[in-house]
Amino acid sequence: MDPVAVVVAVAVLALVAFGIVTALRLESPWLQPVAIARATVQLGLLSLVLTGVLADGAWVLVFLAVMVVAATAVVLRRADLPLRYAPRLAGVLVVAAAVPMTVVFATGALPAESRYLLAIGGIVVGSTMTVCSLMGRALAQALRTGRDEIEGWLALGARPRTAAVRAVRTAASTALIPSTDQTRTTGVVTLPGAFVGAVFAGSPPLEAAGFQLLVLASILAAGGICVAALGWLLGAPTQLPQDDAH
C-alpha cells in the first residue's frame, strides 16, 4: 500500500464530503473533514503505540480504560447529559463491554491473549458508545413527543418510571436498530471489518468468519446491556425535556 496514494485518496474523499455538505447547506460542513483529519492523526498515533501495548496485557487494559473515558465524553455530549452522569455512564460502558468479553474468553472461543483482548474490547467499546449515544438522544426525543401521555399517567398517580416506560422502550428499540441490521445483513449487504481484516491478515475465511460472529454477538449483547442500563438510569425523569415549540 502506497502511503502517498492513501493520503491523496483520503484528502480527495474529505473534499467530496465537504463539498456535498456545503452544497446542501447543512450545519457545520467542516465536521466531516475535521473528523477525517482527527482519524488520520489518531490512527497514526495508534500505529506507533500498538506495538508496545500488545506486548503487555496491563497496557491493553490501560488502553481500553482510555477508550472508555473518551467514549463517555462522546456520549455525554451527543446525548446532552450533565457531567454528573459521567461516572455512571462509564460504569455502563465498562459492564456492557466486560460481560460479552468475559463470555468469549471464559468459553475458550478465543485465547486470552493481549491482541484478542484489544481487538474485541476496542470494537465492543466503540459499539457501546454508539448505542448509548443513540439511546440518550432517542429517549430525549421520545419524552418530548410523548409528553402529553406521560403527564397524563403522572396525573393518574403513576410513578415516573411507569409513566415513561413506553418512551424508554421506543428509544431502546431505536438504539439497537443499527447493530441489529449490521448483524442481519453481514455477508449479504456488508463485508464486516473484522472479517475482512482477519482475511487480509492471512486467516482462513472460516476462522475469520468465526471471529466476526463473536464480534457481532458481543456487540448485540453489549447493546442490550446498554439500553437496559440507560433505560433504568434515565427512564424515571423528574422533569420532562421541553418540546422545541415551547
- Whole-angstrom Cα distance, residue 41 to residue 29? 20
- Whole-angstrom Cα distance, residue 179 to residue 173? 11
Q: What single-letter DSSP state applies at residue 84? A: G
User: To which H or E segment does residue 2 belong?
Assistant: none
With cut-offs at 50, 70 and 90, classify the pLDDT of residue 237.
confident
What is the number of H-type helices and E-type strands within the chain? 10, 0
- Whole-angstrom Cα distance, residue 198 to residue 190? 15
Looking at mean pLDDT, say which of 41-45, 151-155, 229-233 comes out highest.
Answer: 229-233
Residue 95 pLDDT > 80, yes or no?
A: yes
With cut-offs at 50, 70 and 90, classify the pLDDT of residue 26.
confident
- Whole-angstrom Cα distance, residue 102 to residue 168? 28
Burial of 193 (0-12, 13-18, 19+ CB in 10 A): exposed
pTM of the model: 0.79
Residue 244 CB-half CA count within 13 A: 4
Averaged pLDDT for residues 72-83 = 92
- Whole-angstrom Cα distance, residue 77 to residue 82? 9
With cut-offs at 50, 70 and 90, classify the pLDDT of residue 55.
low
Residue 90 pLDDT > 70, yes or no?
A: yes
Averaged pLDDT for residues 37-47 = 80
- Whole-angstrom Cα distance, residue 234 to residue 240? 11
Rg (CA), the chain: 21
Q: Which residue has the higher pLDDT, 246 or 116?
A: 116
With cut-offs at 50, 70 and 90, classify the pLDDT of residue 246.
very low
pLDDT of residue 12: 92
| Residue pair 222/128 in contact by the 8 Å Cβ criterion | yes
Residue 27 CB-half CA count within 13 A: 0
pLDDT of residue 239: 75
- Whole-angstrom Cα distance, residue 4 to residue 151? 59
How does pLDDT run across 115-154, given as a tens digit for each residue? 888 888 989 999 999 999 999 999 989 888 888 888 888 8
How does pLDDT run across 147-189, given as a tens digit for each residue? 888 888 888 888 988 888 999 999 999 999 999 988 888 877 6
With cut-offs at 50, 70 and 90, classify the pLDDT of residue 245.
very low
